[in-house]
Amino acid sequence: MNSQKDFVAAADVIRKSTSQKPTVGLVLGSGLGSLADTLLDRVVIPYESIPGWPTSTVFGHQGNLVIGRLAGQTVAAQQGRAHFYEGYTMREITFPIRIMKELGIGTVFLTNAAGGINPAYKVGDVMLIEDHINFPGMVGANPLMGPNDESLGERFVGLAQAYDRELRNLAIEVAREHAIPLHSGVYCALSGPSFETPAEIRMLRTLGADTVGMSTAHEVLVARHAGMRVMACSGVTNVAIDTVDSDFETNHEEVLEAGKVIVPRLTTILQGVLKRFPT
In terms of Cβ atoms closer than 10 Å to its own Cβ (0-12, 13-18, 19+), residue 166 is exposed
Q: One of 17, 34, 85, 257 is an active-site residue; which one?
A: 85
- Catalytic residue flag (residue 252): yes
**How many other C-beta atoms are found inside a 10 Å radius of the C-beta of residue 208?**
13
Work out the angle between the directed axes of helices 4-17 and 95-102 (0-180°, nearest 10).
Answer: 60
- Catalytic residue flag (residue 83): yes
Distance CA 232, CA 161 (A): 13
Q: Does 114 bind ligand HPA (CB under 6 A)?
A: yes
Q: How many residues bind ligand HPA (CB under 6 A)?
A: 13
Residues 137-176 contacting ligand HPA, CB under 6 A: none
Q: One of 71, 88, 200, 252 is an active-site residue; which one?
A: 252
- Catalytic residue flag (residue 3): no
Binding ligand HPA (rule: CB under 6 A), the pick from 110, 230, 255, 263 is: 255
Q: How far apart are the first and last CA of the chain?
A: 34
Binding ligand HPA (rule: CB under 6 A), the pick from 212, 222, 226, 274 is: 212
3-state secondary structure of 84: helix
- Catalytic residue flag (residue 34): no
Residues 215-244 contacting ligand HPA, CB under 6 A: 237-238, 240
Maximum distance among all Cα pairs of the chain, rounded to whole angstroms = 56
Please check whether residue 226 is in contact with residue 153, taking contact to mean a CB–CB distance below 8 angstroms.
yes
- Catalytic residue flag (residue 145): no
Residues 179-198 contacting ligand HPA, CB under 6 A: 195-196
Binding ligand HPA (rule: CB under 6 A), the pick from 93, 100, 214, 274 is: 214
Give min distance, CB of 213 to ligand HPA, in A: 4
- The alpha carbon dihedral of 221, 114, 131, 276 has a sign of positive
Kindly report the backbone phi and psi dihedral angles of residue 173, in degrees, each rounded to the nearest multiple of 5, phi listed first.
-60, -50
**Contact footprint for ligand HPA (CB under 6 A):** 113-115, 195-196, 212-214, 237-238, 240, 250, 255
Q: Give the residue numbers marked as catalytic.
A: 30, 61, 83, 85-86, 113, 214-215, 238, 252
